[in-house]
């Protein structure tokens, strides 16, 4: 195991438990297996790696040099996953939380169940980010160039950046 600087992303679905509770387990498993394939292809296209899936949750990492490509892949995944769930008749929408920092990376586990994982404060911070849609920490935001940064706006407190499309303005502020 070693420490590495990485972009860490957590995803999970809103209302997943409610949808899973109303359906047979095998139906849920088939839908989620198709989502896993979708997510895995988007993460790989962004130069990242899926560390693990746990139910509706996913942990993925990207090297810093692929941060911008990774963020764009995660935005694409959010849009594709939302469309996919809508096509299934599920009221679920994907939440994406992205942070950057140092992680302990390596093979962890017991016996033959050892597998690649990332652990540490950066992973925990990413998991606790609050937001709807796609949310970036300040550290992740700083890795982006001006073109990609324009897709996000500052959101406080604490300071995070959310994709502009994921923020609905109230009517008094010019929203629908």
Domain boundaries, the chain: 2-134
Rounded to whole angstroms, the Cα distance separating 121 from 139 reads 13
Return the closest-CA partner of residue 135 out of 53, 78, 174. 78
pTM of the model: 0.88
Rounded to whole angstroms, the Cα distance separating 5 from 70 reads 14
pLDDT tens-digit profile of 159-168? 788 888 776 5
pLDDT tens-digit profile of 131-165? 889 999 999 999 999 999 999 998 876 778 888 87
What does the pLDDT average to over 41-51? 98
The CATH class of 2-134 is alpha beta
- pLDDT reported for residue 129: 94
- pLDDT reported for residue 25: 97
Rounded to whole angstroms, the Cα distance separating 141 from 136 reads 6
Tell me how far CA of residue 3 lies from CA of 70, 98, 102, 116, in angstroms.
20, 18, 6, 13
Residue 77 CB partners (closer than 8 Å, separation 6+):
11, 38, 39, 42, 43, 94, 96
Find tokens 């609905």 and name the residue.
168
């Amino acid at each position: 195991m070693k420490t590495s600087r990485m972009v860490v992303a957590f995803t999970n679905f809103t209302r997943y438990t409610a949808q899973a509770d109303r359906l047979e387990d095998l139906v849920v498993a088939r839908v989620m297996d198709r989502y896993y394939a979708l997510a895995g292809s988007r993460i790989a296209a962004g130069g990242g790696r899926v560390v693990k899936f746990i139910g509706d949750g996913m942990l993925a990492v990207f090297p810093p040099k692929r941060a911008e490509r990774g963020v764009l892949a995660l935005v694409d995944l959010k849009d594709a996953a939302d469309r996919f769930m809508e096509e299934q008749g599920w009221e679920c929408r994907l939440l994406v939380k992205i942070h950057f920092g140092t992680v302990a990376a390596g093979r962890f586990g017991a016996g033959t169940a050892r597998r690649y994982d990332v652990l540490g404060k950066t992973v925990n911070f990413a998991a606790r980010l609050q937001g709807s849609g796609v949310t970036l920490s300040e550290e992740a935001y700083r890795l982006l160039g001006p073109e990609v940064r324009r897709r996000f706006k500052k959101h406080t407190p604490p300071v995070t950046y959310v994709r502009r499309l994921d923020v609905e303005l109230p009517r008094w502020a010019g929203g629908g």
